[in-house]
């Protein structure tokens, strides 16, 4: 399936007058994913984000949103169709929560009744009681609650794209983690394209389907969080993310070298999807991950087929086998070979039990094949 | 003491009519100044380069001694109510202009960014965000101007514009303290009550979400 594109930068340059911030910049943001943008301070993250809703204009090149060149679209109506959340939250202090959330629908001409209904739905969605909060004012809410309202406000006119510029970075650590979790859950239901700028590398890796690492106005690497950690494009990536995130002492003979991507599935996914994934990879089992990308266990093709007969709407999480063995990236190959004899699949995790890859019998055989091939050539 | 009461009883209708003139002069001047200063202040917030020049010019008017300003009116517009209103209006513009300008500029930039990012037009930003938030600062300017104008209007008597200044100058000419008081006390009472009424009005009009910020 070809991935639909939500936002595309084509040869974009940006110059504020003192040299180019972005130079001949190209980027595509796939639809329906959370994409985090990270990079050193001043590398152009905010600039990039603001070009998507025309708060900044490219000096050269063009930006396409859902296939349309936004240079030729009315900026005001474009912005009403794109959600926007900023670090300072920016709730209007003289308006109630209800009025704040309803602002974009109001700008778009929605009636009072329609707005009221929408506000009720959104408050429920973000877990605040409509009766209790509707008539309150922003200063009567905690920082975390205020930013939840900020997110609700961005969702109010049901935009397909939401831009967030360090939305959680001014919050206390507990609220921050809570909101990150809620955002992931929310988007599993809503499937919005979320472009999320952050300074916080943990946050970027945790919430992203895809991470884009920028440096001096250029994309250094754009990949899934697991891929970024497993195959950093260069030394800068390692330095920026922090060398401690990468498994140390990866002698050639470790699990890290023979593990593969792709044989994993989120616990919220329906078992049908798991079956498809197994078929596509002609694999026997999959690793199952939780909300944070942590390893929950595995599911095998037999269990899935069995349950599929009874209840096809079942979630993978409901049938996961959690009493499974797993490997660390630096587990030596001798031990991997030993273990794989008794398992269909061996998940590989990092120090915090986050899944970084899997080893299967076929990946072992492939690795052996590569090894022999190399031996032959060097002999 | 009896003498005081007798004078007061005899002068009562005159005091009332002079108070009426006084209020008229002040009210008209403040209103005209408001209609000039508030829109001008709004305009200047989006024309920052012009703002400095205009505010400097308007401030210069404030440095002219009030008696002299009333005097300058005579060769230009003659004597009577009109020149008095012009002079009072000129004095009233600056505080309101300044407060409007400062109030609107004082709105947090993050609110403007949020508003623009959500698709507000400039006009919607002004009417939905900037003016409601700046309103109490603008109102404070109006209150200051009202009080200042009522005091200043006593000088209007020198260019034959009437008002309570008539009674005060007559008292001075007669070296009669009771008569001076008959003019001065109503001026003070007007100042106090107008100040109080505007204060209450401002409280009542302040949006609930901003009331916790109002320390006055
Ligand atoms: N309005 C502006 N005028 C001039 N230069 C600007 C403007 N906005 C940003 N810049 C410059 O452009 C570069 C990129 O800025 P940008 O705000 O996009 O960086 P950022 O990656 O968001 O940084 P941070 O992580 O600190 O938020 C910086 O060098 C900055 O100084
Ligand atoms: Mg930034």
- CATH for A348: 3.10.580.10
Question: What share of chain A in percent tops pLDDT 90?
Answer: 60
Task: Kindly report, residue by residue over A197-245, the tens digit of the pLDDT.
Answer: 999 999 999 999 999 999 988 999 999 998 898 889 999 999 999 888 8
Pure H helices in A198-351: 201-207, 225-230, 235-241, 255-258, 271-280, 301-310, 333-340
* Tally of domains within chain A: 2
Question: Regarding predicted confidence, which is higher, B116 or A227?
Answer: B116
Q: Is the CB of A213 under 6 A from ligand 1?
A: no
- Please count the residues of chain A: 379
Contact of A215 with A233, CB cutoff 8 Å: no
Angle value at C-alpha B135, between B131 and B137, nearest 5 degrees: 125
Q: Is the CB of A43 under 6 A from ligand 1?
A: yes
Q: Is the CB of A46 under 6 A from ligand 1?
A: yes
Say yes or no: A267 and A228 in one domain. Answer: no
φ, ψ of residue B31 to 5 degrees: the values are -60, -50
Say yes or no: A363 and A228 in one domain. Answer: no
- Using a CB-CB cut-off of 8 Å, the residues of chain A touching B119 are 76-81, 104, 107
pLDDT for A6 beyond 50: yes
Confidence of residue B153 (pLDDT cuts 50, 70, 90): very high
What does the alpha-carbon distance between residue A207 and residue A135 come to, in Å, rounded to a whole number?
A: 32
| Cut 0.80: pTM above it | no
A183 domain residue, yes or no: yes
Task: Kindly report, residue by residue over A98-123, the tens digit of the pLDDT.
Answer: 999 999 999 999 999 999 999 999 99
- Using a CB-CB cut-off of 8 Å, the residues of chain B touching A84 are 114, 117-118
As a whole number of Å, the CA-based R_g of chain A is: 23
Domain ranges of chain B: 17-213
ipTM of predicted complex: 0.87
Handedness of CA A120, A126, A132, A135 (dihedral sign): negative
Say yes or no: A308 and A172 in one domain. Answer: no
What does the alpha-carbon distance between residue A34 and residue A194 come to, in Å, rounded to a whole number?
A: 5
**CATH code for the part of the protein at B17-213:** 1.10.3720.10
A376 domain residue, yes or no: no
Say yes or no: A212 and A300 in one domain. Answer: no
Residue found under tokens 């921050």: A176
**Looking at the DSSP assignment, which residues form a beta bridge with residue A327?**
A348
Q: What is the mean pLDDT of residues A321-329?
A: 87
Task: Return mean pLDDT, chain A.
Answer: 90
What does the alpha-carbon distance between residue B158 and residue B44 come to, in Å, rounded to a whole number?
A: 35
Say yes or no: A272 and A228 in one domain. Answer: no
Pure H helices in B78-164: 81-105, 109-117, 122-125, 131-152
A378 domain residue, yes or no: no
Residue found under tokens 């197994």: A278
| Domain carrying residue A78 | 5-239
Task: Kindly report, residue by residue over A25-63, the tens digit of the pLDDT.
Answer: 999 999 999 999 999 999 999 999 999 999 999 999 999
A248 domain residue, yes or no: no
Q: What are A5's two structure tokens?
A: 């594109």
Q: Considering only CA atoms, which of B150, B164, B161, B153 is closest in space to residue B197?
A: B150
What's the B207 CA to ligand 1 centre distance in angstroms? 35
Query: What confidence score (pLDDT) does residue A249 get?
Result: 47
Say yes or no: A231 and A261 in one domain. Answer: no
Task: Assign A324 to helix, strand or coil.
Answer: coil
């Amino acid at each position: 399936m070809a991935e639909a594109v939500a936002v595309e930068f084509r040869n974009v340059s940006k110059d504020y007058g003192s040299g180019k911030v972005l130079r001949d910049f190209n980027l595509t943001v796939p639809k329906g994913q959370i994409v985090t943008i990270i990079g050193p301070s001043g590398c152009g993250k905010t600039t990039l984000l603001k070009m998507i809703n025309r708060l900044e204009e490219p000096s050269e090149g063009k930006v396409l949103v859902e296939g349309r060149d936004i240079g030729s679209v009315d900026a005001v109506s474009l912005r009403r169709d794109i959600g926007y959340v900023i670090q300072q939250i920016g709730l209007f202090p003289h308006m109630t929560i209800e009025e704040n959330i309803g602002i974009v629908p109001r700008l778009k001409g929605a009636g009072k009744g329609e707005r009221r209904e929408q506000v009720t739905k959104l408050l429920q969605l973000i877990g605040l009681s409509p009766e209790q909060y509707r008539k309150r004012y922003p200063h009567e809410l905690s920082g975390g609650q205020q930013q939840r309202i900020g997110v609700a406000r961005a969702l109010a006119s049901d935009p397909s794209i939401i831009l967030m510029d360090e939305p959680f970075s001014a919050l206390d650590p507990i609220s921050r983690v809570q909101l990150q979790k809620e955002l992931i859950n929310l988007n599993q239901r809503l499937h919005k394209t979320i472009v999320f700028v952050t300074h916080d590398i943990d946050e970027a890796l945790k919430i992203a389907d895809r991470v884009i690492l920028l440096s001096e106005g250029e994309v250094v690497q754009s990949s899934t969080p697991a891929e970024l950690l497993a195959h950093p494009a260069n030394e800068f990536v390692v330095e920026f993310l922090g060398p401690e995130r990468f498994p140390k002492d990866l002698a050639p003979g470790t699990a890290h070298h023979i593990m593969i991507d792709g044989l994993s599935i989120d616990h919220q996914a329906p078992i049908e999807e798991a079956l498809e994934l197994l078929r596509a990879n002609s694999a026997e089992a999959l690793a199952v991950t939780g909300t944070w990308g942590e390893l929950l266990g595995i599911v095998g093709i037999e269990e899935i087929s069995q349950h599929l007969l009874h209840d096809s709407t079942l979630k993978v999480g409901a049938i996961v086998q959690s009493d499974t063995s797993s490997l660390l990236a630096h587990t030596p190959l001798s031990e991997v070979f030993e273990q794989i004899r008794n398992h269909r699949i061996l998940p590989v995790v990092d120090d915090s039990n986050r899944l970084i890859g899997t080893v299967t019998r076929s990946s072992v055989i492939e690795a052996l094949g590569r090894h022999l091939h190399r031996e032959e050539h060097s002999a | 003491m009896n003498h005081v009461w007798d004078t007061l009883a005899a002068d009562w209708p005159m005091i009332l009519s002079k108070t009426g003139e006084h209020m008229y002069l002040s009210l008209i001047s403040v209103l005209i100044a408001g209609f000039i200063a508030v829109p001008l202040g709004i305009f200047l917030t989006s024309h920052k380069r012009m703002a400095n020049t205009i505010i400097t010019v308007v401030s210069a008017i404030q440095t002219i001694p009030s008696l002299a300003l009333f005097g300058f009116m005579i060769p230009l517009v003659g004597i009577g109510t009109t020149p008095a209103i012009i002079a009072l209006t000129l004095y009233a513009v600056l505080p309101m202009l300044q407060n409007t300008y400062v109030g609107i500029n004082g709105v947090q930039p993050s609110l403007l960014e949020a508003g623009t990012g959500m698709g507000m037009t400039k006009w919607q930003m002004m009417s939905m965000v900037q003016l409601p938030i700046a309103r109490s600062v603008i109102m404070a300017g109006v209150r200051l101007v009202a009080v200042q104008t009522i005091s200043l209007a006593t000088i209007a008597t020198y260019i034959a514009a009437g008002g309570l200044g008539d009674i005060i100058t007559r008292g001075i000419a007669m070296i009669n303290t009771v008569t001076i008081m008959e003019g001065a006390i109503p001026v003070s009472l007007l100042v106090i009550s107008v100040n109080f009424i505007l204060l209450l009005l401002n409280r009542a009009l302040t949006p609930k979400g901003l009331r916790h910020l109002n320390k006055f």
